[in-house]
Amino acid sequence: MLPMILLLLIFPVLVLAEKLYVVERERGRLAVIEDGKLVKEIEGLGNLNHATLKLWKGKAYLISRDGYLSQIDIQRDELLKKVKVGESTIGIDFTEDHVVVANYEPKTVVVLDERLNIVRSFNTGSRNVGIKGFEGGFVFSLMDRDEIWLVRNGEVKVFKEVGAMPFDALLKGDVYAVGFFKEEGVGLLNIKDKGYRKVFFTSGDKEVVFKIPHFGTWGLVDERAFIPAVGERRLYVVNLKGFNLEGHIDLSGLPVFATTSPDGIYIAVNFSGDREDYIALVEAKAMKVIKELRVGRRVMHTRFSKDGKRLYISSYFDSKLRAFSVPELILLYEVDVPNPSGVFLIK
């Protein structure tokens, strides 16, 4: 009884701290959650299957699967501008003064200014993936041409035959890492010295082969990556300096996302298939599952609070956003949100 009383006493403090945007996948809206309540919905955002939302210069930018880019005022929670940048759009990122968007269709990469005016479009002849911005330029991969394009100060450097069918990437420091659908290993491009090489995960003297999932599903803690295995009930733990395998963590289900707490202590894992209603909480340092709980029908996404003391989950079939204490996984509150998917921390 005492733990519950304590939770009730601190509940107002826990709730007041943050604002969340939650994707309403079937309605083309963002639910605005504040003080543990649904306070508003932002409408007319397009097809939000696999939508991506990022923050830049005090505003939110959301890209829809059907090619709409929306700019949102995060103080008033209002749609400021919405522009069409493609027919099938897969990614968005930022340089210091531009928005960059990668399209499947048409086969273009689009550059926009802060007012969402299109200032340049690159015709690539390929579906484009893994777009990442940096100061002075951006970099992306061409899925159908096995290339990487590095754009700096308007000049394009093309790297050919980088690997069979690149599908996603991450940028860590000056290193752009790209994964491939049709071959093992990872391609590494140094965006400063323009050196390119391929690496394979190794354990001791042995090469370790496993399929690379989308990089957005990885949990990153310092130099370690916690990688959801494709078709296996485990997380692989890889040191990103040497790309050596440190081990793996056995799980009860097929992992989808590995979400890291801000302090790097915990990793939340959700599952597909027979365990899609559950989450597992992993202690990163010990590399083990410390708690597992059924939290809702089909967990789509997880997000830690800024202080790492709460874990938000979206339950698609329950139409709920739920908040749990960390590491106890005690339910703190829930909010009705129609068919929620992505959960984004705004402030």
**Residue 53 in 3-state DSSP?**
strand
**Is it the case that residue 5 has pLDDT exceeding 70?**
no
pLDDT at 241: 83
Q: CA Rg, the chain, in Å?
A: 20
The stretch 184-190 carries a mean pLDDT of 90
pLDDT digits (tens, 9 = 90+) for 130-177: 999 999 999 999 999 999 999 999 899 999 999 999 999 999 899 999
First and final C-alpha spacing in the chain: 32
Q: Which of 227, 249, 250 is nearest to 238 (CA)?
A: 227
**244: confidence class by pLDDT, cuts 50, 70, 90:** confident
**Is it the case that residue 217 has pLDDT exceeding 80?**
yes
Distance CA 95, CA 56 (A): 10
pLDDT digits (tens, 9 = 90+) for 225-241: 999 988 889 999 998 88
Q: How many helices (H) and strands (E) does the chain have?
A: 1, 34
The stretch 9-25 carries a mean pLDDT of 71
Alpha carbon separation from 327 to 13, 225, 301 (Å, rounded): 18, 21, 18
pLDDT at 8: 47
pLDDT digits (tens, 9 = 90+) for 291-307: 999 999 999 999 999 99
Q: Which of 18-27, 36-45, 91-100, 179-188 has the lowest mean pLDDT?
A: 179-188
Q: What domains appear along the chain, each with residue ranges and CATH number?
A: 1-41+212-347 (2.130.10.10), 44-199 (2.130.10.10)
- The token duo for 283 is 């202690």
pLDDT at 54: 98
SS (H, E, C) the chain: CHHHHHHHHHHHHHHHCCEEEEEECCCCEEEEEECCEEEEEECCCCCCCCCEEEEECCEEEEECCCCEEEEEECCCCEEEEEEECCCEEEEEEECCCCEEEEEEECCEEEEECCCCCEEEEEECCCCEEEEEEECCEEEEEECCCCEEEEEECCEEEEECCCCCCEEEEEEECCEEEEEECCCCCEEEEECCCCCEEEECCEECCEECCCCCCCHHHCEEECCEEEEECCCCCEEEEEECCCCEEEEEEECCCEEEEEEECCCCCEEEEEEEHHHCCEEEEEECCCCEEEEEEECCCCEEEEEECCCCCEEEEEECCCCEEEEEECCCCCEEEEEECCCEEEEEECC
- Rounded to the nearest 10 degrees, how much is the dihedral formed by the CA atoms of 59, 128, 258, 30? 40
Inter-residue contact 202 to 225 (CB < 8 Å): no
Q: Which of 27, 31, 144, 137 is nearest to 90 (CA)?
A: 144
pLDDT at 17: 64
Inter-residue contact 278 to 291 (CB < 8 Å): no
Q: Please give the model's pTM, rounded to 2 decimal places.
A: 0.91
**Is it the case that residue 22 has pLDDT exceeding 50?**
yes
Measured from the Cβ of residue 156, the count of other Cβ atoms closer than 10 Å reads 11
